[in-house]
Amino acid sequence: MAVPKRRMSRSNTRTRRAQWKASAPTLAPCSNRACRQPKPPHVACPNCGQYDGRPVVSPA
């Protein structure tokens, strides 16, 4: 197993970690024509409770 010979400097560590960026969550409009609220894809709509045109969850 490979093991580092020297400790990585704070500058190099922070430079490497600077590339880790948080991405904005993907949102798609609800398929219900009366709702059209943004929601994550492949998830029941938290506003109207429908998924793929069928009521799945009681709306909040």
52: in domain: yes
10: in domain: no
Structural domain range at position 43: 27-60
60: in domain: yes
* pLDDT per position as a tens digit, 13-35: 999 999 999 999 999 999 999 99
46: in domain: yes
42: in domain: yes
57: in domain: yes
Q: How many domains does the chain have?
A: 1
H or E segment and range at residue 13: helix 10-17
pLDDT at 10: 96
Q: State the first-to-last Cα distance of the chain, in angstroms, to the nearest integer.
A: 52
1: in domain: no
59: in domain: yes
Distance in angstroms (rounded) separating the CA atoms of residues 50 and 56:
5
**14 CB-near residues (< 8 Å, 6+ apart):** none
